[in-house]
Amino acid sequence: MRILSIVLVILLIAVIAGIIYFPKIKRAKAFAASLDMANIEHSFLHMDEHLPIKKLTKSPAPFRFSRTRDITLPSSFEHLDQSYDTRAFLDSSYTQGLLIIQNDSICYEQYGRSQQEDSQHISWSMAKSYVSALMGIAIEEGHIKDINQTVDEYLPELKGSGYEGVSIKDVLQMSTGVKFDETYGDPNSDIQRYWKGFVFGKSQDKFATTLVNARPPGTYNEYISINTHVLGMLIVKATGKSLSEYLQTKIWDPLGNEHDAYWLADGKGMEMALGGLNVSLRDYAKLGRLYLNQGNWNGKQIVPASWVEASTHASEPHLLPHSELSSRPDFGYGYQWWILDGDEEEYMAIGVFNQYIYINPTTNTIIVKNSANQNFYDIDNPHSQSPVHVELFRKIAHSM
pLDDT given for residue 107 in this prediction: 97
Cβ atoms of residues 114 and 372 within 8 Å = no
Distance CA 109, CA 215 (A): 45
Cα separation, 187 vs 195, in Å, equals 10
Do 336 and 329 form a contact (C-beta atoms < 8 A)?
no
Nearest CA to 372 out of 382, 357, 383 is that of 383
d(CA 397, CA 101): 9
pLDDT given at position 28: 62
Tell me how far apart the alpha carbons of residues 189 and 226 are, in angstroms, rounded to a whole number. 13
Q: How far apart are CA 400 and CA 395, in angstroms?
A: 9
Burial of 30 (0-12, 13-18, 19+ CB in 10 A): exposed
User: Torsion over CA of 355, 360, 361 and 365, rounded to 10 degrees?
Assistant: -80
pLDDT for 185 equals 81
Q: Which residue ranges make up each domain of the chain?
A: 37-397
Whole-angstrom distance, CA of residue 186 vs CA of residue 229: 21
Task: Give the CA dihedral 236, 135, 126, 291, nearest 10 degrees.
Answer: 150
pTM of this structure: 0.93
- Give average pLDDT by consecutive 10-residue segment, the chain, 400 residues: 58 54 60 83 96 96 94 97 97 98 98 97 98 98 97 98 98 98 89 93 96 97 98 98 98 98 97 98 98 98 98 96 96 98 97 98 98 94 97 96
Q: Give 309-360 pLDDT, tens digit per residue.
A: 999 999 899 999 999 999 999 999 999 999 999 999 999 999 999 999 999 9
Backbone Cα Rg of the chain: 22
Answer yes or no: are the C-beta atoms of 124 and 353 closer than 8 Å. Answer: yes
* Torsional class of 381: left (φ above 0), alpha (ψ -120 to 50), beta (otherwise): beta
Q: How far apart are CA 247 and CA 377, in angstroms?
A: 32
Partner residues linked to 105 by β-bridges: 66, 102
How many CB atoms lie under 10 A from the CB of residue 258? 18
Length of the chain: 400
How far, in Å, are 71, 341, 399 from residue 77 at the CA level? 16, 18, 11
Distance CA 361, CA 86 (A): 23
SS3 for the chain is CHHHHHHHHHHHHHHHHHHHHHHHHHHHHHHHHHCCHHHHHHHCCCHHHCCCEEEECCCCCCCCCEECCCCCCCCEEEECCEEEEHHHHHHHCCEEEEEEEECCEEEEEEECCCCCCCCCEECHHHHHHHHHHHHHHHHHCCCCCCCCCEHHHCCHHHCCCCCCCCEHHHHHCCCCCECCCCCCCCCCCHHHHHHHHHHCCCCHHHHHHCCCECCCCCCCECCCHHHHHHHHHHHHHHHCCCHHHHHHHHHHCCCCCCCCEEEEECCCCCECCCCCEEECHHHHHHHHHHHHCCCEECCEECCCHHHHHHHCCCCCHHHCCCCCCECCCCCEECCCCEECCCCCCCEEEEECCCEEEEEECCCCEEEEEEECCCCCCCCCCHHHCHHHHHHHHHHHHCCC
The fold for domain 37-397 equals Beta-lactamase (3.40.710)
171 φ, ψ to 5°? -70, -45
Looking at residue 342, its pLDDT comes to 94
